[in-house]
């Protein structure tokens, strides 16, 4: 046993040899398949750059970044919810950087102090199980308002905004659209029909796909991917307009390989990257380029701006704590 | 001759005194080593996270506790946690006791199969267990969909059921060790005195397994209280304290408030430590130097009843992996039931490589874990050093710590440039230590249960014959104990193959393990691929069991079981 211990200890030492100049560690919350594809392209463009990628969900990654603060292990944050990256505990680990070509990205998708920029994003969408609707004899809902109908009682699942970024953009967009008072009154009525508040943003869509519930409030790409998997669901973008979230990239201040990290960040706004985003993302903030047919087939409008509720990201981030506290008091059981 | 006699006695005396002092030295040294390891790999990380609970905007203080206790929701969640854990713990221990009894004290057939089947919940990541339960009993699960039922599993009863299934194997392992040995003479005299079987059970069997029952209750209760996987998937709107930690830490990055609940969850360990003395003082060793091992008598009626019971339990435990396996082999459960291998393509990061990482980690965890858990158990149960008390508390503490909390504690403690062991951060070695200490309580309790059955008169006899502590261990204790240790090794191996929540904060791009791949797949919606990946993990675990079994067979130990 002792010799084995020695070997593992030795292995530990070897593993911790300082990274080469062209090696960086990237933390991402892009879904695993998207991230793998983007990374493959990045490696084609920069064969000499070794990118070590760790993929965790938004919440898990946030917890890890906060826990590792004493000695950050990563050089770049990539594709990470903008409303989470602005929490002070994380934002203060970042360093301002303006990648080459960033001017093409409209200012509303960037931090005023250049600490982060977002090239992709996602929007709220319902996953509606057609098989279950038919079985229950229900019509397909097309808006948030439709969901207030008592016939959907117990058939709707929604993410818990306290633990899910997707849940938060749904709630905050409704509050922004309707105003505080009317918005909370609406959520209270909606609450009567909600079967469960699920702690993740993708699970409501999975639950609807599995036929456990008729409607799962989730987000666009989750719906599109589950439709492509073959589940009998369709995607509904709520008629009132859809709340949306940006996925941000940023340079970590403690990076020991800033040049390599900057090269990678530069790459994320190149044409190659933008074309790849279009294949995987419904919201791409780099202009020029068309949405693939399969997204249109799934029910996305070609011009996503027409359905996006203009989200005030700064406000959404600032009000976050207050909104979540109120939401928990009212609805969390 | 007559001249030699007077000098022989003092020399012998001095030798035994020497043996005594060196024994004392060995005992102290081993205790110190165990305490040192626990300090570094348990106290330090837990301390790091607990310090966070005192972290308030106004400086260090109890503000977070005041805030938490003032919230009525906290008390609701506490009641939820306690009620669901009490129910599932009672059910798991009761059912597992009868099951272990059937396997140890009756002649039911197919014992090896019966043993392995109830271990199923330990073979696959808990994520998949919960998924299997939904495939079976969900609103659109097999029962409702294909058999026309209409019931709703979400909520209190669903979580209670899931936790019962999930903690059953732990209870079984401990109770099986407790029921494994018995002194036939006690049973004979009870029978001769005219006691009926029911009375013998109540007055002989039950008291003799008191420590095992207490240990099993403690382990199953702590596991239920700290588990958030089942509660998140099956609880629906039924929340518990463990899911609230998830809410605070993962959902909102509020470590301090999450840590407060972490402190509350340590209570079961503290309470059981306080009760332990009372329970163990009444426990008597089963195997003394005069013992006659109990042999099972023939009794058709008893075997038939217990056999039927075992069969029923076995069906329940087979149903869940069975349905997950089915889902992994069809195109799209439950909509397209055509047979298909597509979910076994594994187009996930690093493909199947994490499986082999996991095998390596699991083997190392098994080796290191058995060594550490056994030495801790011996140090606590057999050596009386000043360290025994604190060690016995630390040994069972991990079962009261949610994996997520321990994992975060490891990050805080080891990713700190001030820690000389900082070099271990990001290595598989640290993951191995995390697995060892995360599962330490169960392994320690299984080993202790077995150790308590071995009378100290063996040690005394061996010492009187001049055998030192080490000699006694290798010549007396180990031959009696090793089947249990083998089981403990298998237990560590299985846990290290599948545990997820603890390592999620420690994996790096280079040290991906299999359970994380399952999570990645499930996260991106490929639930059937996740199921398929879990099937591969299960296959590896079962293959490893078979290999060890074969090695034992070749070594001539035919009657030894891997899982006691």
Indicate whether B418 belongs to any domain.
yes
Task: Please list every residue in chain A whose beta carbon sits closer than 8 Å to the beta carbon of residue B507.
Answer: 54
Residues A143 and A209 in one domain: yes
The verdict on residue A292 lying in a domain is: yes
Domain of residue A66, CATH code: 3.40.190.10
Contact A16 B139 (CB under 8 A): no
Residues A183 and A262 both lie in one domain: no
CB A52 within 8 A of CB A24: yes
Number of domains observed in the structure of chain B: 1
Q: Which domain holds residue B78?
A: 13-289+297-555
| CATH of residue B520 | 1.10.3720.10
Tell me how many degrees the CA angle B417-B418-B423 measures, rounded to the nearest 5. 50
Q: Please check whether residue A269 is in contact with residue A100, taking contact to mean a CB–CB distance below 8 angstroms.
A: yes
Q: Is residue A236 part of a domain?
A: yes
Is residue B326 a part of any domain in this protein? yes
Chain B: closest CA distance from residue A60 (Å): 5
> Is B4 a member of any domain?
no
According to DSSP, residue A201 is labeled: S
**Are A94 and A238 found together in one domain?**
no
- Please indicate, yes or no, whether residues A229 and A253 belong to a single structural domain of this protein: no
Residue A17 phi/psi, 5-degree rounding, is -60, 135
Q: In this complex, which of B138, B239, B505 lies closest to A212 when CB atoms are compared?
A: B138
Residue B120 CB partners (closer than 8 Å, separation 6+): B169, B317, B318, B320, B321, B538
Q: Please report where in the chains the tokens 């990713």 appear, as a residue.
A: B415
Residue A9: inside a domain:
no
* Phi, psi for B216 (deg, rounded to 5): -65, -40
Across A105-114, A288-297, B362-371, the highest mean pLDDT is recorded for B362-371
State pLDDT tens for residues B12-36: 444 455 555 677 888 889 999 999 9
pLDDT given for residue A217 in this prediction: 97
Using 70 as the pLDDT threshold, list the residues of chain B that sit under it.
1-21, 280-287, 455, 558-564
In DSSP notation, B330-367 reads EEETTTEEEE--GGGS--STTTTHHHHHHHHHHHHHHH
pLDDT value, residue B41? 96
Beta-strand ranges (E) seen in chain A are: 23-28, 50-55, 76-81, 94-95, 117-129, 156-159, 194-198, 215-219, 233-236, 244-252, 283-284
- A294: which 2 tokens? 């399969």
- pLDDT score, position B559: 64
Distance in angstroms (rounded) separating the CA atoms of residues B514 and B361: 10
Mean pLDDT of A231-259: 94
Which residues neighbour B248 within 8 Å (Cβ) at sequence distance 6 or greater? B254, B255, B257, B258, B261
- Let me know whether A104 and A178 are in one domain: no
Whether B427 sits inside 8 A of A71 (CB atoms) is no
By C-alpha distance, which of A248, A247, A219, A234 is closest to A123? A219
The answer, for B10 touching chain A at a CB cutoff of 8 Å, is: no
Taking each helix axis from N to C end, the angle separating B156-180 and B440-452, rounded to the nearest 10 degrees, works out to 40
Contact A211 B243 (CB under 8 A): no
Distance CA A224, CA B266 (A): 44
* Nearest Cα residue in chain A from B368: A1
Which of A62, A199, A210 is opposite residue B140, by nearest beta carbon? A210
**Local structure of residue B321 (DSSP, 8 states):** H
Mutation target for A interface from B243, B246, B354, B523: give the one with most A CBs within 10 A: B523
Domain-located, residue A257: yes
Whether residues A159 and A113 share a domain: the answer is no
Determine, for residues B427 and A160 on separate chains, whether the beta-carbon distance falls below 8 Å.
Answer: no
- Is residue A268 domain-shared with residue A194, that is, in the same domain? no
pLDDT of residue B560: 65
Please name which of A61, A16, A15 lies closest in space to residue A35, comparing C-alpha atoms: A61
Mean pLDDT of chain A: 90
- Chain B residues 69-88 within an 8 A CB cutoff of chain A: 73, 76
Q: Which residues from chain B sit within 8 angstroms of residue A56, using beta carbons?
A: 504
Q: Does residue A185 sit in the same domain as residue A310?
A: yes
Mean pLDDT, range A135-158, rounded to an integer: 96
pLDDT digits (tens, 9 = 90+) for B59-111: 888 999 999 999 999 999 999 999 999 999 999 999 999 999 999 999 999 99
Interface of B with A in 489-548 (CB under 8 A): 504-505, 507-510, 520-521, 523-527
User: Closest to A54 (Cβ–Cβ): which among B368, B412, B508?
Assistant: B508
β-pairing, A94-95 with A215-219?
A: unpaired
Contact list, A81 vs chain B (CB under 8 Å): none
pLDDT at residue B522 in the model: 82
CB contact under 8 A, B368 and A59: no
CA–CA dist A111, A97 (Å, integer): 10
SS (H, E, C) B493-517: HHHHHHCCCCHHHCCCCCCCCHHHH
User: CA of A2: which chain B residue's CA is closest?
Assistant: B368
Please check whether residue A4 lies inside any domain of the structure: no
What pLDDT is recorded for position A6?
52
String of DSSP letters for B84-130 = HHHHHHHHHHHHHHHHHHHHHHS--S-HHHHHHHTTHHHHS-HHHHH
Task: State which residues form the domain around A91.
Answer: 17-121+245-303
- The alpha carbon of residue B110 is apart from the nearest alpha carbon of chain A, in Å, by 35
Give residue B126's pLDDT: 79
Give the minimum alpha-carbon distance from A319 to chain B in angstroms, rounded to a whole number.
14
Q: Report CB contact under 8 Å: A52, B367.
A: no
**Residue A10: inside a domain, yes or no?**
no
Whether residue B334 has a cis bond before it, omega within 30° of 0: yes
pLDDT at B554: 85
Residue B128 lies inside a defined structural domain of this protein: yes
Q: Are B515 and B498 within 8 A, CB to CB?
A: yes
The total domain count for chain A is 2
Q: Of how many residues is chain B composed?
A: 564
Phi/psi at B124 (5° precision): -125, 150
d(CA A81, CA A29): 8
Same domain, A180 and A252: no
Instruction: Tell me whether residue B560 is in a domain.
Output: no
A58 and A30 within one domain: yes
- Predicted local distance difference test score (pLDDT) of residue A308: 77
**In a domain? residue A233:** yes
Is B348 close to A32, i.e. CB distance below 8 A? yes
The answer to whether the beta carbons of residues B405 and B487 sit under 8 Å apart is no
> Residue B19 to residues A259, B386, B387, B464: CA-CA distances in angstroms?
65, 20, 21, 10
Is A97 in the same domain as A187? no
Q: How far apart are the first and last CA of chain B?
A: 53
> Is B525's CB within 8 Å of A73's CB?
no
Residue A1 within a domain? no
CA dist A109 and A285 (Å) reads 7
Q: Cβ of A9 and B424 within 8 Å?
A: yes
Task: Flag whether B372 is in a domain.
Answer: yes
A chain contacts of residue B432, beta-carbon cutoff 8 Å: 8
- Out of A32, A197, A324, the one facing B349 most closely (by C-beta) is A32
Query: Is residue B416 less than 8 Å (CB to CB) from chain A?
Result: yes
The average pLDDT across A196-203 equals: 90
Cβ contact, residue pair B247, A160, below 8 Å: yes
The Cα-based distances of A188 to A171, A175, A205, A329 in angstroms read 11, 12, 22, 12
* Co-location of A111 and A210 in the same domain: no
């Amino acid at each position: 046993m002792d010799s084995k211990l020695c070997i593992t200890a030795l292995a530990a030492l070897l593993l911790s040899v300082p990274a080469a100049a062209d090696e960086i560690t990237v933390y991402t919350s892009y879904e695993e398949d998207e991230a793998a594809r983007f990374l493959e392209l990045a490696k084609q463009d920069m064969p000499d750059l070794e990118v070590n990628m760790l993929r965790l969900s938004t919440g898990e990654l946030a917890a890890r970044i906060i826990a590792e603060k004493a000695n950050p292990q990563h050089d770049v944050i990539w594709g990470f919810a903008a409303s989470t990256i602005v929490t002070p505990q994380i934002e203060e680990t970042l360093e301002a950087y303006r990648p080459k070509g960033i001017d093409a990205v409209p200012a509303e998708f960037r931090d005023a102090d250049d600490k982060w920029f977002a090239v992709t994003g996602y929007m709220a969408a319902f996953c509606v199980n057609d098989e279950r609707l038919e079985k229950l004899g229900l019509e397909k809902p097309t808006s948030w308002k439709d969901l207030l109908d008592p016939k959907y009682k117990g058939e709707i699942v929604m993410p818990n905004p306290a633990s899910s970024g997707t849940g938060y953009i749904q709630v905050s967009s409704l509050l922004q659209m309707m105003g505080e008072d009317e918005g909370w009154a609406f959520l209270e009525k909606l609450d009567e029909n909600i079967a469960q508040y699920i702690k993740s943003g993708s699970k409501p869509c999975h639950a609807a796909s599995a036929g456990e519930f008729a409607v799962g409030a989730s987000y666009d790409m989750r719906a599109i991917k589950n439709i492509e998997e073959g589940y009998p669901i369709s995607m509904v973008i709520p008629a009132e307009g859809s709340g949306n979230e940006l996925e941000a990239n940023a340079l970590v201040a403690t990076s020991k390989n800033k040049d390599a990290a900057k090269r990678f960040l530069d790459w994320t706004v190149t044409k190659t990257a933008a074309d790849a985003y279009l294949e995987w993302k419904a919201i791409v903030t780099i202009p020029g380029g068309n949405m693939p047919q399969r997204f249109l087939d799934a029910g996305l409008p070609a011009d996503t701006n027409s359905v996006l509720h203009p989200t005030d990201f700064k406000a959404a981030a600032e009000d976050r704590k207050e909104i979540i506290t109120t939401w928990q008091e009212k609805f969390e059981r | 001759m007559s001249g030699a006699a007077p000098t022989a006695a003092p020399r012998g005396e001095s030798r035994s005194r020497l043996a005594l002092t060196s024994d004392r030295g060995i005992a102290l040294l081993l205790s110190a080593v165990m305490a040192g390891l626990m300090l570094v790999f348990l106290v330090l990380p837990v301390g790091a996270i607990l310090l966070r609970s005192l972290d308030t905007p106004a400086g260090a203080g109890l503000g977070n506790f005041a805030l938490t206790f003032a919230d009525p929701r906290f008390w609701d969640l506490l009641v939820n946690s306690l009620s669901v854990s009490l129910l599932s713990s009672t059910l798991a221990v009761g059912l597992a006791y009868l099951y272990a009894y059937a396997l140890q004290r009756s002649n039911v057939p197919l014992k090896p199969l019966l043993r392995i089947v109830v271990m199923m919940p330990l073979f696959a990541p808990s994520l998949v267990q919960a998924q299997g339960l939904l495939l079976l009993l969900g609103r659109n699960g097999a029962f409702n969909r294909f058999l026309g039922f209409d019931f709703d599993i979400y909520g209190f009863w669903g979580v209670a059921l899931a936790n019962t299934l999930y903690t059953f194997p732990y209870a079984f392992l401990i109770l099986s060790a407790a029921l494994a040995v018995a002194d036939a003479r006690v049973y004979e005299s009870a029978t001769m005195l005219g006691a009926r079987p029911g009375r013998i059970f109540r007055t002989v069997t039950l008291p003799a397994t008191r420590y095992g029952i207490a240990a099993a209750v403690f382990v199953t209760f702590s596991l239920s209280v700290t588990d958030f996987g089942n509660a998140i998937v099956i609880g629906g709107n039924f929340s518990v304290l463990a899911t609230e930690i998830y809410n605070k830490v993962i959902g909102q990055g509020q470590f301090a408030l999450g840590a407060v609940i972490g402190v509350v969850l340590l209570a079961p360990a503290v309470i059981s430590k306080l009760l332990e003395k009372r329970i163990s003082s009444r426990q008597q060793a089963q195997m003394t130097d005069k013992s006659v091992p109990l042999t099972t008598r023939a009794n058709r009626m008893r075997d038939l009843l217990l056999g039927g019971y075992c069969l029923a339990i076995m069906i329940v435990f087979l149903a869940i992996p069975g349905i997950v396996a089915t889902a992994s082999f069809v195109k799209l459960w439950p909509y397209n039931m055509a047979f298909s291998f597509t979910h076994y393509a594994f187009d996930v990061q690093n493909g199947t490589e994490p499986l082999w990482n996991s095998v390596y980690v699991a083997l190392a965890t098994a080796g290191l874990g058995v060594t550490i858990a056994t030495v801790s158990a011996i140090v606590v149960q057999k050596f009386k050093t000043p360290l025994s008390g604190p060690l016995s508390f630390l040994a069972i503490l991990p079962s009261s710590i949610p994996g997520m909390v321990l994992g975060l504690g490891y990050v805080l403690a080891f990713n700190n440039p001030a820690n000389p062991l900082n070099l271990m951060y990001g290595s598989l070695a640290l993951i191995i230590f995390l697995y060892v200490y995360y599962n330490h309580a169960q392994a320690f309790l299984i080993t202790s249960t077995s150790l308590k059955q071995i009378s100290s008169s063996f040690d005394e006899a061996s010492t009187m014959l001049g055998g030192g502590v080490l000699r006694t261990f290798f010549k007396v204790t180990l031959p009696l104990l090793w089947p249990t240790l083998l089981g403990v090794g298998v237990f560590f191996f299985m846990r290290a193959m599948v545990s997820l929540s603890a390592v999620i904060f420690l994996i790096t791009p280079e040290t991906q393990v299999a359970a994380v791949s399952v999570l990645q797949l499930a996260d991106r919606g490929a639930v059937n691929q996740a199921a398929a990946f879990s099937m591969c993990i299960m296959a590896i675990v079962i293959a490893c069991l078979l290999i060890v079994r074969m090695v034992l067979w070749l070594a001539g130990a035919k009657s030894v079981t891997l899982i006691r």
